[in-house]
Structure 1
Amino acid sequence: MSFSGHHVQKASKRPFPLESLLMPQVPRSNYLHFQEEKQRLQLKKFLLHRMFLVAKIPAHTDKKDIAEYYEQVFQSILKHHLGEMVTGLLLIYPTSILHILESSNGTLFRILLDYLDRERNENEFLIQGMKIIVVSHNIPTRLFMQWHVSVIKVPVMYLDDVTQSQSLEEVITEFLTQTHKLGLHLFKTVKVGTKGPGDNLHQVAPELLLPEQIIKYLCKSEEFLDPATFIQMYNNPIHVTLDSEVVWPAPTRF
């Protein structure tokens, strides 16, 4: 009997196989699940796009008028496109602007339409000669958590004009590289709900600011589309009817 009791006591220390399977497991995840959860929490109801714009402004333009104009446009569009907020960055130089916008395709389309309407109906609109540098479609997430405006009050001095010695491809590469670095800097340093870098960005991160001559150079480049041409291409049908499809009599197919 003592041997049997000792055997039972020893066996009781071993967990029953079924019992070990039923024990609560620590939830584990991976990077894919993290990204999927991040996308779900954003409650994305539309595809997200990012647009890079450059334009010229008259030297006498009040910089506050530019910011107020875009804020009014955003509020007007938001009434028809609920939940499709606009984020990005507006850099106002002495005679030009650099504008990065993130939103749905319909919202970006309406922003361009409003610009064209103002340009046609106003004698001297405060934003002139706009060019679309690049549009990134279906981006996975926003680089900017809100819409920032920064006035570059103090001109930044540069040793030489890179647009005189570099090709267009090199200028565009520098343009995209610097804007991406600046966006990452703001993403890491600016808290959600704050006003952003304000008008001292040239003091906080002067090495990340693009020279204004690059923006002026891009405004003059004929390789980039203006909003009117871009919208015309946007509205054109994708399907093109070939001449062989409209000849008469119709060709016989076997």
Structure 2
Amino acid sequence: MSLNVHNRRTSKKHFQVDPLLMPKVPRTNYLHLQEEKHRLQLKKFLLHRMFLVGYVQANLEKKEITEYYEKLFQSILKNHLGEAVTGLLLVYSRTFMHILETSNGTLFRILLDYVAHEKEDKEYMIQNVKIIVASHNIPTRLFMQWHVSVIKVPVLYLEDVTQSQSLAEVTTDFLSMTHKLALHLFKTVKVGTKGPGDNLHQVAPDLLLPEQTIEYLCKAEEFMDPATFLNMYNRPIHITLDSEIVWPAPSRF
């Protein structure tokens, strides 16, 4: 009898964990770190940035394109969860350059709306859109709001630099100039104001992209249009191997 009691006591002591051996630092993982990072930045979704170029309809009014995008952004955020849209839209005489910062689902629906308009309306106000680059999971925004600026002042260029540069060089210059312009606006434009207005040619003339550069990128076949991008986006990741559709199934050792 005493032997059994002694065995039970020793077994209980055997399963007790010494508190000195318990970890003092709380264990976490990479997912928790990312969630905490986004919580501190007041973000519910990952942020993405997309650079677009394309042609605009002749004599396009600023009010027309501004109202269209503002209504589109409001409609998307009203019906789908996502981050607010910030960025910059530069409208030239024949072309435009658009920077968008928002969550992935919102970007997807903006492109989807353009593709739908392109199919239904051949005289749509923006045409031949090309996606220059899409940056995923950006750490912070370059813009605190979404702005539209019309570049109406004619600028004369002594030399078309795109004729002597490769596509990679033109694209690098394009991204470098747009980032410099974005940083300039980030430092000078206050939150809640109307934005840079239509006098960027006076405020930052050295940071404006030549329209010939945008036209060059619009004609480049290496960049995808929104329809091609969406088809690739919706394509399933899973790939069926040839060995999975033959019979009898091959044996593996």
Q: TM-score range by the shorter chain?
A: 0.7 to 0.9
1:138 is aligned to 137
Show the counterpart of 2:106: 107
Instruction: Give yes or no for contact 1:73–1:111 (8 Å, CA) kept in 2.
Output: yes
Query: Paired residues, what number?
Result: 219
AA paired with 2:78? K
What amino acid is aligned across from residue 51 of structure 1 in structure 2? M
Report deviation, 1:84: 1.5
2:232 maps to 233
Deviates more, 1:151-160 or 1:110-119: 151-160
CA distance in 1 between counterparts of 2:81 and 2:244 reads 43
1:246 equivalent in structure 2:
245
Counterpart Cα distance in 2 of 1:83 and 1:105: 8
Show the counterpart of 1:43.
42
> Residue type of the partner of 1:126?
M
Matched, 1:172 2:171: yes
Q: CA offsets, 1:19-61, max 9 Å, x none?
A: xxxxxxxxxxxxxxxxx99854431110000000001012232
Residue equivalent to 2:29: none
- 8 Å contact from structure 1 (residues 131, 224) kept in 2: yes
Q: Does 1:69 align with 2:64?
A: no
Query: How high is the TM-score relative to the length of structure 1?
Result: 0.83
Distance 2:46 2:182 in 1: 20
Counterpart position of 1:52: 51
How large is the Cα RMSD of the aligned pairs? 1.5
**TM-score, scaled relative to structure 2:** 0.83
Letter in 2 for 1:170: E
Aligned to 2:115: 116
Q: Deviations over 1:132-160 (max 9, x none)?
A: 00000000000100001100010222221
8 Å contact kept, 2:43–2:83: no
In structure 1, how many angstroms separate the alpha carbons of the residues matched to 2:152 and 2:36?
41
Matches within 5 A, 1:162-241: 162-241=161-240
Q: Which one-letter code corresponds to 1:193 in the other structure?
A: G
CA distance in 1, matches of 2:245, 2:150: 56
Compare 237-246 and 168-177 and name the one that shifted more. Answer: 237-246
Contact 1:54–1:218 under 8 Å retained in 2: yes
Deviation at 1:220? 0.6
SS at match of 1:218: helix
Q: Which runs of 5+ in 1 are unaligned?
A: 1-35
Runs of 4+ in 1 over 6 A off after TM superposition: none
Asked if the contact 1:156/1:202 (under 8 Å) is kept, the reply is: no
Letter in 2 for 1:55: G
Amino acid at match of 2:41: Q
Amino acid at match of 1:136: S
